[in-house]
Homo-oligomer: A and B are copies of this chain.
Amino acid sequence: MNKEKNFQGYLHDKGLKSTRQRDDIASYFLQQDKHFTVEELYNEIKKSDPQIGYATVYRTLKLLVDAELAVECQFSDGLTRFEPVHKGKHHDHLICLKCGKIIEFENDKIEQLQLEVAREQNFELTNHKCVLYGYCSRCKE
């Protein structure tokens, strides 16, 4: 698959080594479409590799972020989550404060206006996080 090739390339370019653990973690993670807690991913990986170390999962996620194959998300529940980057497509999030539901959205107008704001401030924009909090259709009743 393409993204796994990207990861192999990334490792090679950085002089890092391809290992069974890294490859398993990356392979599993990149195929999913979830917002993983480190613990969630650790528990998944442990099913096929009971020996996997917690630290290795942390380290591999860090590499994936550096390789731009994952992004870190901080919603306001205190937990850090990671999600795979699919097709380089950016999106932002709506978070339900009751059930924790995560909805993704893309809005080009907002993205454009953000660029404009940055330009006005003479800022060189690298990335952004836009998170909307509230209650989902089911929870607002």
Contact = CB atoms under 8 A, between A and B. Distances in A.
A133 B114 CA distance: 11
Residues of A in contact with B, size category: 20 to 34
Copies per complex of this chain: 2
Nearest to A140: B124
Given A103-B121, A114-B110, A117-B105, A130 B130 contact: yes
Interface string A110-141: 10011001101111111111111111110010
A76 B137 CA distance: 30
A14 interface: no
A5 interface: no
Contact of A128 (B114, B130, B135): B130
Contacts of A137: 121-123
A126 B121 CA distance: 28
A124 B113 contact: no
Contacts of A103: 121, 123
A2 interface: no
A107 interface: yes
9 contacts: A74-B74, A94-B117, A94-B118, A96-B123, A107-B117, A110-B117, A117-B132, A118-B134, A125-B133
